[in-house]
Amino acid sequence: MARTPLSENVGLPFTAALRTCSVTVAGARVLSDVDFQIASGEIFGIRGENGSGKSTLLRVLAGLLIPDTGSAEVFGSSPTDASVRLRIGAAIDTPAFYGWMSGRGFLRTLIDMAGVRDDGRSQLALERFGLAGAGRKLTSRYSQGMKKRLALAAASLHAPGLLLLDEPTNGLDPEGREVVRKWIERERDRGTAVVLVSHRDEDLAICELVFEMDAGKLSAAAKGGSG
Amino acid sequence: MRSFARQVRAEARKIANLLVLALFVVWTVFLWQDATRTGQLASGQPQTAVMSQMAAKQQVKEVCTSGESEACRNARKSVAVNHYLVRNSIEQGRIAASLSTFPGVLTFVSHQFTAGMGWLFVALVAALHLTGEESRGTVGASVLAAGRMKYLSAKIVTVWSVSVVAIVAAAVVLYELASTFAVSPSVPTGVHVTAQRLSFEGSRTLAPDPTWASWSHALSEFWHAAAVLAIIAVVFCALATQFRRVTRAAAAGALVVGCFFALAAWLHGRAWGPMGGVARLLSLDHVPYGVIDVRMFDITGRPSDMLMRPYGAPVLGPNLSSQPAPVPYLGLVVWLVVAMVAVAFAVRAYARRGFPG
């Protein structure tokens, strides 16, 4: 069942939306008049060539990049608003950590950064991605797969209402990929809106809609996994 | 408030790394070297100065027997010049002696931090702490969790806190190492003067400078340093926000420090070295500020009656007692404005900046 971008479904309640967003970086147009919106409990996929603007779109939705024109809206506000930030979970780009901290220390640091109390959520996040036994290990000693898991654990810390995931299964073994897929489905069932950027058809198979990104433009969507 | 305290705690975890520790060690070595040089300068100088003064007085006695000749006038000038040297040397000796007490060391470190290498320390820590996040790729997660402005504020507070903690830690380290640089300078208590010969009767060890050795003074100096650091931490953090790479931010910080020292030396060229110039520019050079400052080399004021009594024990004149420094209100306002402008630039930079995820 192919569908047009949801921005055309005026009146549909949405979790996040981009309205004619354009972003230029170092003179190059990275996003070009992008319209996009996603509602609670939906999983949308985005695929495209390297440098087509997929990660930039996620960064705009996360409030890490401010569009030159157009607007971004998450939960009815700007994604940079304090009231919105903690409802966004993001794992964008290559995972990066403080090498002198343990995995648990890194998560606790993020919890402190958010200004909230660690009510056991760091431990839960570690367990969710199979890192409970590696919580005390320095992140500089983590394998690529463990780093990916830790980045996803960080994204899941605050039970987000919007998840932005960039190649979430890169570097993971089949078992790890299954853990991530099940987690995403659980989040969807919980009512979380998920935007998933991936090159893997098997990852995108769980998406209701898959958009194609090409030279900063978002094309019409198709059913997930159909290519 | 509690929420912001947690954010500062998170930033403290980030800043507690080996690079910052290495910077602290290097900076402490510089301080130890400063303290050692101060001790070496002070150890022999009071005795030599007093002896020279006595020799000059003897000269006056010998050549001023028949009216005011040219030789007599020169001898009297020599006494007057030596008079200042004696005062400086004794004061320096008393300050050096106070470096064996913890308040003395704390005062010394506070001074050196605000008018010396500490500026470079703050500039480098700020560069590492802010741009390090960008080059490492961790900035996105932090900004997403904390928000742009709280992230920046927590960074500034952390750099300032680390600088203040560095003062206390360096004071503790130097106090433990005091045996390597502490001296007990002495002055002659009396001298036998014959026709062409001076000889000691004995000597008296100079007591530590009572002001430098007092806790109340040390704490007031410490808070003063903390206030100066608050301003320069804001300025260097704001400067670091303009860059995305540690090397560029560190180079810019070092350039600013260098320009400031050059400006200070140019405006106050008479001061001893660039540090003295900086001390003056920051209004830190009033008695009793600074070991390596103008007090050691250019005390102005009415000559005291010290050593005017032949062979008497040297005593400090009343105008040599330490005076509390006046609060430099104008300088404070100027620095606050500089800091506010720098923050405005930083906020502008962060309000529009894109961060990696």
pLDDT tens for A124-164 read: 999 999 999 999 999 999 999 999 999 999 999 988 999 99
Res. B295: pLDDT tops 70 = no
Question: Of B306, B308, B307, B304, which is closest to residue B319 (Cα–Cα)?
Answer: B304
Predicted confidence band of residue B89 (pLDDT cuts 50, 70, 90): confident
Predicted confidence band of residue B279 (pLDDT cuts 50, 70, 90): low
How high is the ipTM of this complex?
A: 0.84
B356 touches A93 (CB < 8 A): yes
Higher-confidence residue: B275 or B257? B257
Res. B281: pLDDT tops 60 = no
Average pLDDT over residues B73-91: 78
CB-based contact A98 B145, cutoff 8 Å: no
**Residue A155, SS3 per DSSP:** helix
Quote the mean pLDDT of chain A.
88
CB-based contact B17 A86, cutoff 8 Å: no
CB-based contact B6 A63, cutoff 8 Å: no
Q: What is the distance between the alpha carbons of residues B67 and B24, in angstroms, rounded to a whole number?
A: 62
DSSP annotation string for B69-113 = -HHHHHHHHHHHHHHHHHHHHHHHHHHHHHTTSHHHHHHHHHHHH
DSSP tag of A146 = H
Q: Tell me what percent of chain B is helix, strand and coil, each rounded to the nearest 5.
A: 70, 5, 25
CB neighbour burial string for B201-229, b if at least 16 within 10 angstroms, e if fewer: eeeeebebbebbbbeebbeebbebbbebb
Return all residues near B124 (Cβ < 8 A) that are at least 6 apart: B23, B250, B253, B254
Predicted confidence band of residue B319 (pLDDT cuts 50, 70, 90): very low
Helix (H) or strand (E) holding B26: helix B18-63
Residues of A with Cβ-Cβ distance to B9 under 8 angstroms: 112
Which of A58-62, A67-71, A220-224, B324-328 has the least mean pLDDT?
B324-328
Predicted confidence band of residue A171 (pLDDT cuts 50, 70, 90): confident
CB-based contact B13 A101, cutoff 8 Å: yes
pTM of the model as a whole: 0.81
Best mutation target, A57, A109, A147, to test chain B (most B CBs within 10 A): A109
Q: Is B302 on the interface with A (CB under 8 A)?
A: no
DSSP annotation string for A11-77 = T---SEEEEEEEEEETTEEEEEEEEEEE-TT-EEEEEE-TTSSHHHHHHHHHTSS--SEEEEEETTB
Of B18, B146, B357, the CB nearest to A113: B146
Helix (H) or strand (E) holding A209: strand A209-214
CA distance from start to end of chain A? 13
Res. B262: pLDDT tops 50 = yes
Tens digit of pLDDT for each residue in A86-138?
899 999 978 889 999 999 999 999 999 988 888 899 999 999 999 999 999 99
Higher-confidence residue: B318 or A160? A160
| Structure tokens given for A127 | 């367990």
Helix (H) or strand (E) holding B56: helix B18-63
CB-based contact A96 B136, cutoff 8 Å: yes
Q: What is the distance between the alpha carbons of residues A46 and A148, in angstroms, rounded to a whole number?
A: 19
Return all residues near B194 (Cβ < 8 A) that are at least 6 apart: none
* Cα-to-chain-centroid distance, residue B24: 17
Residue type, B159: V
A156 touches A95 (CB < 8 A): no
Q: What is the pLDDT of residue B267?
A: 63
CB-based contact B6 A116, cutoff 8 Å: yes
Average pLDDT over residues B214-229: 88
Burial of A152 (0-12, 13-18, 19+ CB in 10 A): buried
**Residue A210, SS3 per DSSP:** strand
Distance from CA of A206 to the nearest CA of B (A): 24
Average pLDDT over residues A64-84: 90
Best mutation target, A112, A156, A158, A166, to test chain B (most B CBs within 10 A): A112
Size of interface A-B (CB pairs under 8 A): 101
B 219-278: CB under 8 A from A: none
B146 touches A113 (CB < 8 A): yes
CB neighbour burial string for A90-124, b if at least 16 within 10 angstroms, e if fewer: bbbbebbbbebbbbbbbbbbbbbbbbbebeebbbe
DSSP tag of B353 = -
Helix (H) or strand (E) holding B204: strand B198-205
Of B16, B136, B352, the CB nearest to A66: B352
Return all residues near B111 (Cβ < 8 A) that are at least 6 apart: B221, B225, B279, B284, B289, B290, B291, B293
Tens digit of pLDDT for each residue in A20-48?
999 998 888 999 999 999 999 999 999 98
Best mutation target, B11, B131, B144, to test chain A (most A CBs within 10 A): B144
Of A65, A66, A112, the CB nearest to B6: A112
CA distance from start to end of chain B? 27
Distance from CA of B348 to the nearest CA of A (A): 13
Q: What is the distance between the alpha carbons of residues A109 and B114, in angstroms, rounded to a whole number?
A: 31
Quote the mean pLDDT of chain B.
77
Predicted confidence band of residue B214 (pLDDT cuts 50, 70, 90): very high
Res. B284: pLDDT tops 60 = no
Distance from CA of A21 to the nearest CA of B (A): 15
DSSP tag of B154 = H
Distance from CA of B85 to the nearest CA of A (A): 53
Helix (H) or strand (E) holding A162: strand A162-166
How many CB atoms within 10 Å of residue B336?
A: 13
B 126-165: CB under 8 A from A: 136-138, 140-148, 150-151, 154
Q: What is the distance between the alpha carbons of residues B31 and B38, in angstroms, rounded to a whole number?
A: 10
B260 touches B146 (CB < 8 A): no
Tell the residue number behind the tokens 């007591």, with chain if given: B207
Q: Is B355 on the interface with A (CB under 8 A)?
A: yes
B86 touches B314 (CB < 8 A): yes
**Residue A90, SS3 per DSSP:** strand
Q: What is the pLDDT of residue B324?
A: 42
Whole-number Cα distances in Å, B83 to A50, B121, B202, B351: 79, 39, 21, 61
Predicted confidence band of residue B309 (pLDDT cuts 50, 70, 90): very low
Nearest CA in chain B to A63: B144
pLDDT above 90 as % of chain B:
22
Question: Of A183, A195, A193, which is closest to residue A160 (Cα–Cα)?
Answer: A193
Residues of B with Cβ-Cβ distance to A94 under 8 angstroms: 137
> What φ, ψ does residue A101 adopt, rounded to 5°?
-105, 155
**Residue A168, SS3 per DSSP:** coil
Average pLDDT over residues B155-178: 96
